[in-house]
Amino acid sequence: MPPETPEPVLTGLLTVDAIEGGLARVELEDGSVEDWPLASLPRGVQEGDVLRLHVEAGDLTVEIDHAATRERRHTAQAQLDALNVVPPAGEIDL
C-alpha cells in the first residue's frame, strides 16, 4: 500500500499596510490588498509589520516576522533616502 500523500503545507507573507479601527489592511504577496479583522492577527501587530502565514492540516497560524520587518524597513528606507538626496535650496519653480 503506497504511503499516504502528506497534506501540503502552505506558507506566505502578509504586510500590514494600515490599521483602520478593528480592521487591518494587509498586502498579499501578489500585491493585492485585503481587509482582515485585527482580531485574527497577532496581538500587538503594528502598521508595517511583516506577517508569516502557516497553514497546516487546516489550521492557520499567523506570526509577526520581526526579522523580515526590520529588513524591509531598512531596505525601503535606504531606497527612499537615496531618492531624497540633494534637496534644492529655496523656492522651487516648476
Partner 1 sequence: MRPLLALAALSFGLASAQTPGVLTIRFLDVGQGDAVLVTSPEGKSLLYDGGRSETRMQVLLKKYGVQSLDLIVASHGDADHITGLIPAVTLFKPKFFLNNGIAATTQTWSRLTQAAQQAGTQGLLARNQVINLGSVKVTVLPPPPGMPRDEQNVNSVGLLVQYGTFRLLMTGDSETPETQAWLKTYPASFLGPVDVYKSIHHGAANGDHLAWLQAVRPRNVVIGVGENNYGHPTAQALDLYKRMGAAIYRTDLNGTVTVTVQPGGKYAIAVERGPAVPKAATPATPPVSSPTRPTPATPLYRSCAEARAAGAAPLRRGQPGYNPALDRDGDGTACE
Minimum gap (Å) between residue 43 Cβ and partner 1: 17
Considering beta carbons, is residue 56 or 75 the nearer one to partner 1?
A: 75
Residue 63: CB partners within 8 Å, gap ≥ 6? Answer: 42, 51, 52, 54
Minimum gap (Å) between residue 39 Cβ and partner 1: 14
Cβ atoms of 24 and 36 within 8 Å: the answer is: yes
Minimum gap (Å) between residue 74 Cβ and partner 1: 9
Residues that bind partner 1 in the complex, under the rule CB under 8 A: 15, 17-18, 20-21, 23, 25, 27, 31, 33, 35, 46-50, 69, 72-73, 75-77, 79-80, 82-88, 90-94
H or E, element range at 14 = strand 10-20
Q: Which amino acid, 20?
A: E
